[in-house]
Amino acid sequence: MSFKLTVLQTVESTQDVARKSALSGEPEGAAIMALNQTRGRGRLGHSWISPPGKNLALSIILRPRLTPTESPLLGLLTSVAVANTLDKCGIARSELKWPNDVLVGGRKIAGILSEAVLEDGIVQHVIIGVGLNVNAQESDFPKHFVIPATSIFLCTGRERDVEETARDFLEEMHALYGRVNRDGSSFIRGLWEARWAHRSMMMVHEGVVGRAKGLDEDGALILSTPDGRLIRILSGDVFPLQPDTKGFLNNSRD
């Protein structure tokens, strides 16, 4: 399977375009890229804000031979593909934040959105959305972001062709997804954890504090609480704890 890239001028959401195409029978490998996305979205109903023409907005259709519990691993796989793409761009220090962010120096450079459709307990298709900041400058980012943003341009000082960046990403995704089709999904966790930004750190999730231990077989995050419990986190945001000025642990989202 190879990816076929379609570049559109303006859409509300590449996820919506890809989803409609998938429901109409479009085979896997279709990749929809928009130069301008007017209603981009991320996880948990968040908006994906991106200036027209500067950043990559892309959604791909996959029809994996995976179980419903395995399908969330494809979002993690996509994060690895983005990090590999950044390597090609001369950014060798990218890290991954569970479940869907790619960071450089603690700043968010990309986000992943994975949406699966099931029928009778079988995965029909998965739409993977990628938002990657390519040529954005500091003035392009709102100041209210929970995690400060960055871009390939801000990291390297060089502008990069957005479509070329898309093709580099699809090349990385092709190699990794081909491995899933050959070998199954069990290797994904190891690749993801090798770039994990918060391994063994104290984290907080909806008031629950625990040490980040690793990923479960389905991609869930495992936290070890101070009282010895192991907590599986399936969704939501998880942030590292940092000491405050009084010596106590403080939930820092900056």
Cα 7–Cα 90–Cα 148 angle in degrees, nearest 5: 75
Region class of 154: left (phi > 0), else alpha (psi between -120 and 50), else beta: alpha
Q: Has residue 124 got a pLDDT over 60?
A: yes
Helix (H) or strand (E) holding 190: helix 188-193
Across all residues in the chain, what is the average pLDDT?
A: 90
Q: Report, as an integer, the average pLDDT of 213-235.
A: 95
Q: What is the CATH number of domain 4-193?
A: 3.30.930.10
Residue at token pair 């027209």: 52
pLDDT grade for 46, boundaries at 50, 70 and 90: low
- Residue 41, pLDDT score: 59
Q: Has residue 101 got a pLDDT over 90?
A: yes
Cα 244–Cα 214–Cα 211 angle in degrees, nearest 5: 25
Domain 202-251 in the same topology as domain 4-193: no
Whole-structure pTM value: 0.90
- Residue 103, pLDDT score: 98
User: Which of these, 154, 177, 163, 172, lies nearest to 90 by C-alpha position?
Assistant: 154
Contact 230, 213 (CB under 8 A): yes
Helices 162-183 and 73-88 meet at what angle, rounded to 10? 130
Domain ranges of the chain: 4-193, 202-251
Fold classification of 202-251 (topology level): SH3 type barrels. (2.30.30)
